[in-house]
Amino acid sequence: GAEYFVERGDLLRLSRPADSHKGDFGEVLVIGGGPYTGAPALAAQSALRSGADLVRVAVPAAIADEVQGYSEDLIVRPFDGTQLTEPAVDPLLDLAADHDSVVLGPGLGAGEATLSAVEAFLADFEGTAVVDADALRVVPDVETEATLICTPHRGEFERMGGQDAADWETRAENVAELAAELGMTLLVKGPADIISDGKSTRVSRTGNPGMTVGGTGDVLAGVTGALAATLDPHPAASLGAYVTGRAGDLVVEERGYGLVASDLLDRVPTAMWDEQP
Amino acid sequence: GAEYFVERGDLLRLSRPADSHKGDFGEVLVIGGGPYTGAPALAAQSALRSGADLVRVAVPAAIADEVQGYSEDLIVRPFDGTQLTEPAVDPLLDLAADHDSVVLGPGLGAGEATLSAVEAFLADFEGTAVVDADALRVVPDVETEATLICTPHRGEFERMGGQDAADWETRAENVAELAAELGMTLLVKGPADIISDGKSTRVSRTGNPGMTVGGTGDVLAGVTGALAATLDPHPAASLGAYVTGRAGDLVVEERGYGLVASDLLDRVPTAMWDEQP
Amino acid sequence: GAEYFVERGDLLRLSRPADSHKGDFGEVLVIGGGPYTGAPALAAQSALRSGADLVRVAVPAAIADEVQGYSEDLIVRPFDGTQLTEPAVDPLLDLAADHDSVVLGPGLGAGEATLSAVEAFLADFEGTAVVDADALRVVPDVETEATLICTPHRGEFERMGGQDAADWETRAENVAELAAELGMTLLVKGPADIISDGKSTRVSRTGNPGMTVGGTGDVLAGVTGALAATLDPHPAASLGAYVTGRAGDLVVEERGYGLVASDLLDRVPTAMWDEQP
Amino acid sequence: GAEYFVERGDLLRLSRPADSHKGDFGEVLVIGGGPYTGAPALAAQSALRSGADLVRVAVPAAIADEVQGYSEDLIVRPFDGTQLTEPAVDPLLDLAADHDSVVLGPGLGAGEATLSAVEAFLADFEGTAVVDADALRVVPDVETEATLICTPHRGEFERMGGQDAADWETRAENVAELAAELGMTLLVKGPADIISDGKSTRVSRTGNPGMTVGGTGDVLAGVTGALAATLDPHPAASLGAYVTGRAGDLVVEERGYGLVASDLLDRVPTAMWDEQP
């Protein structure tokens, strides 16, 4: 139907009253980094570009200086060590409780101790979290009261128990099925992004072949995290996919492929607010 | 009356004689940083963008490298430790004496030892200072011969003893009252910024809902600090509010919301000089 | 003949199918750094700008933080020490095996231990490598099953055993001769870049006198490395020379000489995709 | 006379033959840093923007990482310590011998040990050096066979033994007199920059009141250093003053005052090559 595809009209959700003040658009906590340094910085900056009022980024102390160095706009909260491990979980849960949404995963890597820590975090977390990258591995088995938006690519979708399919219509059905089973919102990335919470399923067709470059997933997670601070999970994920893809289209329209993920940051605001119908 | 609102015509104060030389437009000292790294860097760069000839930024040694790394245009003066504490106060007073104005507060945090140090600094300081953020907490109780411009948001205004009000006209009266009582210039931030020294009260209506993002207050403090190096406190605060808000409007006109505080830096010169009537 | 010169039409090789996904455009490993820090960062960013999906940059631990600091888009893999030495070779061979091409040389320097390590790497490497700068010194004497693209300037070409010549037609013959003898692809840089694998020889005439500045060779190596991840060595080198020179021409057309190597990064995508015939 | 003022026509000296190659436009060594970090980075980047083929920047090891972090285009050569002292002089003299010109001074500070080291360097140096900032203090008393271009502002000119004057015509005579006496080229900065080697005196009228900001002198030193790598001292200093001032005018024409020194970098190439008559 007409509402099946995410379209420009969906952007109408994003207007701002003139008497807005600090806090109205949410505070986001990004938890990431360890083997990768750029990923949490990309997710945090994307969340800011998507209109979050405040974004804190919690990373291992070993990389805190580099992450902070990328921008004066970042607020870095280091935890001990070179990667996420269980001792950091309780302080992170306390910190997370002061935020409207959490983005969990960018650059954490797949170390065994890290995945245990992710599991421990999710088990006790009760807020809204966007889960991406290696952190997705523990999601199917964890018991949690959190509201989750998971953003796997097709390979990760299969590893979560989903069934991939060559045509996107069948894939959409399979996404809906797994979302219903797991009780969460899924955003499965691909040439067409599929978003479902089991009840409603939508497809976003923005984006282009230049976006196969590393880091675009971190941007999508950050954009979706910021939207999830003020919107329900399903529209947040739908708009997250639409806006991130559109930002990539703006870069490619301007100068062809060869984009890098940080190119998207500047175009997110344009994609989100400047093209409202 | 016609002079109630800060308008474009106020920018006429900012012309420059052709035979200006180094020092004519003031030297500014920013004292900040500790739990936050980006805030003092934003304030210092804002002061430069507002035409100060020289800006030094004093921060804890623990973050000096990151602050210096943001720009070749910054001159960082580190003090020992990870946050401002009393041993740094005397050297900072010496350093401050060589500057035309001081910006005190951006990113200092609210640690007890830090607030004591802020209090000790203000007690002995006799120059002009813009006080922002957590440093505002000690202002109502400190006895000082300094000339102060305080830049609280509405919550901080209340904590300083002011009475907030839903309509800005009543609020303006309350701001004037507290300013008179404390003997300083207040710039109370909000959808309409209110500036008063108890005798004269003005309102600046630039700015927009995209400016709820973190860091915009640091920019305002830096802009106001630079203006206070050559202008009296009341016009400095009035123009500081007008210019910072206008810089934010320029960003949003160009591409919608999703601005970050560092976006404002580039637009401050345009807002200040390129739009003179 | 008409196919002798590399022309705009050659860019047609670079189209992208709409259903591309992560990995289709290759993963590149840059090995460099030690006495120079910027060189490996330039090569890695150039590879990303040329459309590689993922670029990792392996550098000595002593400079890893600075390299990582240049961009969130970089993935740095440090090896122990302040320069490349033999203990790093085996882990690098393992890492290289997971990539579609390697760029070996930018910023490694000519330390004796480093050249031994380069030799040891090439002796055991079986993939595709672009070799540049000081690493070229060991190439003529090494026995390897790797597919090599070497990018010497005219002085380095002579040191490799080639015979320089004032007119480029004679030089082209000499390049073809050495390429045949060494069994590799040569890209000899000069006012006209000459590319030959001994069987086919082509000439790229893009580029300008502003490109004598340091670092342009690192960009060429990165661009060629990314192209070699999906194309055969000869067309990869031919397009690498054409695109890098064209990127430099775009900078100079815009504002005259005084370009720096990092200026080229932004123009590589335009030169590669935006000017397709 | 018509040749008294430096004009656009002087830029004609800066054309480039099509068969230029690496090295034709000179290699520059910047020696600076210690109490200031940004200054040597600004000078080095300015030299690159002025067309030097290679620029190395020698700074105390304590700030080497921050300087390197500003740009991939910089090649940093650290010397031991937190400031320049005599043990670094001999290695710097060796390094300097491989360069076409040296820029001595940006950010060195006025520490006693540093000024001794500057004096020792100049006493043994036989090449071409642009001397700026605190390093100027030792110039009048040092005996050297170096070819010097000194770039004092009016206060420093007086400290060097010159006599300032309110009108620039008298000042020009006084500059010529001191230049003749010291046997060097002087570039005395002011609303009108005066350049003299004692025999020929010229005046550059580019520049504007926005350029009173800190760091513009570092840019001028770097531009002049790069020009002195291929031109005689007098035309190098004349064009250095003209181009740096014009770069500042381009910034201010675009958006009013509030410029910072790093703004000039991008405009130097335009001022130098894009506006040739």
Mind listing the pLDDT tens digit for each residue in B148-198?
999 999 999 999 999 999 999 999 999 999 999 999 999 999 999 999 999
AA letter at D207: G
**Which of left, alpha, beta for B30 (phi over 0: left; psi -120 to 50: alpha)?**
beta
Residues 6+ apart with CB under 8 A from D207: D191, D193, D244, D245, D246, D248, D249
Residue of B nearest to D154 (CA): B21
Q: How far apart are CA C227 and CA A230, in angstroms?
A: 43
Are the C-beta atoms of A276 and C65 separated by less than 8 Å?
A: no
Separation CA C161–CA C171 (nearest Å): 13
Interchain pair C20, A209: CB under 8 A:
yes
What is the structure's pLDDT at C1?
43
CB contact under 8 Å between D213 and B48, yes or no, is yes
More confident call, B103 vs B210 = B103
pLDDT, average across residues D145-165: 97
Q: Which residue in D has a C-alpha nearest to residue B21's C-alpha?
A: D212
Q: How far apart are CA B195 and CA B204, in angstroms?
A: 8
Residues of chain B in Cβ contact (below 8 Å) with chain D: 16-25, 45, 48-55, 65, 68-69, 71-76, 268-270, 272-274, 276
Checking if the pLDDT of B78 tops 80, the result is yes
Contact C232, C36 (CB under 8 A): no
Closest CA to A60 of A122, A109, A124, A102: A109
Rounded to whole angstroms, the Cα distance separating A79 from A69 reads 17
b/e map D106-121, b = 16+ CB within 10 Å: bbbbebeebbebbbbb
Reading phi first (left if > 0) and then psi (alpha if -120 to 50, else beta), residue A28 is in beta
Residue located via tokens 């990064």: C265
pLDDT tens-place string over residues D178-194: 999 999 999 999 999 99
In which band, very low, low, confident or very high, does the pLDDT at B3 lie, cut at 50, 70 and 90?
A: low
Instruction: Report whether C233 contacts C185 (CB < 8 A).
Output: yes
Largest CA distance in chain C: 50
Strand partners, A148: A129
Q: How buried is A103 (Cβ within 10 angstroms: 0-12 exposed, 13-18 middle, 19+ buried)?
A: buried
CA-nearest residue to C70 within chain A is A70
- Give the pLDDT band (50/70/90) at residue C2: very low
What is the chain A residue with the closest CA to C46? A258
Counts for chain B of helices (H) and strands (E), in that order: 9, 9
H helices present in D83-160, as ranges: 89-97, 112-124, 154-159
Mean pLDDT score of chain B? 95
Question: Given B70, B153, B257, which is nearest A269 (Cβ)?
Answer: B257
- Condensed to tens digits (0 to 9), the pLDDT of residues C83-103 reads 999 999 999 999 999 999 999
Q: What is the mean pLDDT of residues B99-117?
A: 98
On chain C, the residues whose CB falls within 8 A of the CB of A152 are none
Q: Given CA atoms C34, C37, C39, C41 in this order, what sign does their dihedral have?
A: positive
DSSP 8-state secondary structure symbol assigned to residue D189: B
In one-letter notation, the amino acid at residue D50 is: S
Mean pLDDT, residues C187-199 taken together? 96
The reported pTM is 0.96
Closest to C72 (Cβ–Cβ): which among A38, A191, A256?
A38
Tell me the torsion sign for CA atoms A139, A141, A142, A144: positive
Q: How far apart are CA C101 and CA C57, in angstroms?
A: 12
Q: Quick one: pLDDT at residue B269?
A: 96
d(CA C192, CA C241): 9
pLDDT digit string, tens, across residues C37-85: 999 999 999 999 999 999 999 999 999 999 999 999 999 999 999 999 9
- Tell me: the pLDDT tens digits for B8-58? 989 988 887 777 777 789 999 999 999 999 999 999 999 999 999 999 999
Question: Which helix H or strand E contains B59, and what residues bound it?
Answer: strand B54-60
| CA distance to partner chain D, nearest, from residue B274 (Å) | 5
pLDDT of residue B15: 81
Residue of A nearest to C265 (CA): A258
* Site from B67, B72, B219 to mutate, D interface, most D CB atoms within 10 angstroms: B72
- Interface-testing mutation among B30, B42, B59, B66, with chain A (most A C-beta atoms within 10 A): B66
Contacts of C91 (CB under 8 A, 6+ apart): C79
In this prediction, residue D13 carries a pLDDT of 87
Q: Which of A2-6, B72-76, D273-277 has the highest mean pLDDT?
A: B72-76
Cα torsion for D65, D66, D70, D75, to the nearest 10°? -40
Q: Please give the average per-residue pLDDT across D88-94, as a whole number.
A: 98
Task: State the ipTM, two decimals.
Answer: 0.95
Test D213 with B19 for CB contact under 8 angstroms.
no
Q: How confident is the model at residue C172 (pLDDT cuts 50, 70, 90)?
A: very high
Question: Is residue B275 over pLDDT 90?
Answer: no
| Residue C233 φ/ψ, nearest 5 degrees | -55, -45
Q: What is the pLDDT of residue C194?
A: 97
Q: Cα distance from B173 to chain D (closest Cα, Å)?
A: 34
- Which positions in chain C have a beta carbon within 8 angstroms of at least one beta carbon in chain D? 36-39, 41-42, 45, 65-66, 69-70, 153-154, 190-191, 208-210, 212-215, 255-262
Of A37, A41, A153, the CB nearest to C22: A153
Q: What distance in Å separates residue C15's CA from the closest CA in chain D?
A: 30
pLDDT band at C151 (very low <50, low <70, confident <90, very high): very high
Give the model's confidence band at D116: pLDDT under 50 very low, under 70 low, under 90 confident, else very high: very high
How many Cβ pairs within 8 Å bridge chains B and D?
93
Q: What is the mean pLDDT of residues C228-243?
A: 97
Per-residue pLDDT at B1: 43
pLDDT for B174 equals 97
* Confidence at C18, pLDDT banded by 50, 70, 90: confident
Residues of chain A with pLDDT under 70: 1-3
Query: Where is pLDDT greater, at B147 or C11?
Result: B147
Q: Which of C11, C72, C230 to mutate to test the interface with A (most CBs of A within 10 A)?
A: C72
Q: What is the CA radius of gyration of chain D?
A: 17
Residue type, B50: S
Give every CB contact of residue C74 below 8 A, 6+ residues apart in sequence. Answer: A38, C41, C44, C45, C55, C57, C67, C68
Question: In 3-state terms, what secondary structure has residue A53?
Answer: coil
CB < 8 Å to D255, chain B: 269-270, 273-274
pLDDT at C125: 98
Chain B residues closer than 8 Å to D209 by CB? 16-20, 24
